[in-house]
Amino acid sequence: MNNKRTELKVTALENGTVIDHIPAASLFHAIRILKLDKVSNQVYFGTNLSSKKYGVKGIIKVRDRFFKNEEINKIALVAPTATLIEIKDFEVVRKVKIKTPKIVENFVKCFNPKCITNHQTVPTKFKVITDKGELKLRCHYCEKTTTKDTMEFK
């Protein structure tokens, strides 16, 4: 019954990418990071869908679009549990867990108001560090650490 309803909500893809297991609260962040609010492809998304593993989850489906690893890995910052599924002719051809990048460039803002990147046209750059299981971003310029709570996207 449940599966049937989900299918009704989210159309199956012939060709394209499904990003599954996105924490529901991060869905719109993920859409912005991948710039899916600015593409001409058909994009479907669902949020607060029930998930056995995570309680609720978000899902994104993008028709006729395949992502480069470095592109998709950007969403690891907000959705470390996400899975990438590539579909060709209605068949799953690739299914991988996304990987956390080592360096994050020019799509997150530094939380430090005195950082040079917030005053002049300097592209942001961060080293991704893990502290007690939590992802943090250490600014290449001001050396301050942006956490998930203070993270804002450009």
Partner 1 sequence: MKYKSYNMKNRSLISINDYSKGEQMHILDLAEKFEKQPRQKILDGHVIATLFFEPSTRTRLSFESAISQLGGKIIGFTDAASSSVSKGETLMDTVKTVANYSDLIVMRHPLDGSSRWASEVAGVPIINAGDGANQHPTQCLLDMYSIRKTQGSLDDIHIAFVGDLKYGRTVHSLTIALSQFHTTFHLVSPPELKLPSAVKKYIKDAGLSYYQYDDLNDVMDKVDILYMTRIQKERFADPMEYEKVKNSYILKNEMLEHSKENMRVLHPLPRVNEIEEEVDANPKAYYFQQAKNGVFVREALLASTLGLI
**Binding residues for partner 1, per CB under 8 A?**
110, 112, 114-117, 119-122, 139-145
Nearer to partner 1, 39 or 116 (CB): 116
Nearer to partner 1, 52 or 119 (CB): 119
What's the token pair of residue 102?
A: 């080592």
Question: Considering beta carbons, is residue 75 or 115 the nearer one to partner 1?
Answer: 115
Residue 60 and residue 87 in contact, taking contact as beta carbons nearer than 8 Å:
no
**Residues ≥6 apart with Cβ < 8 Å to 51:** 21, 57
Q: Tokens 């301050």 sit at which residue?
A: 144
**Closest approach of Cβ 101 to partner 1, in Å?**
20
Q: Nearest approach, Cβ of 115 to partner 1 (angstroms)? A: 5
- Contact criterion met (CB below 8 Å) for 112 and 152: no
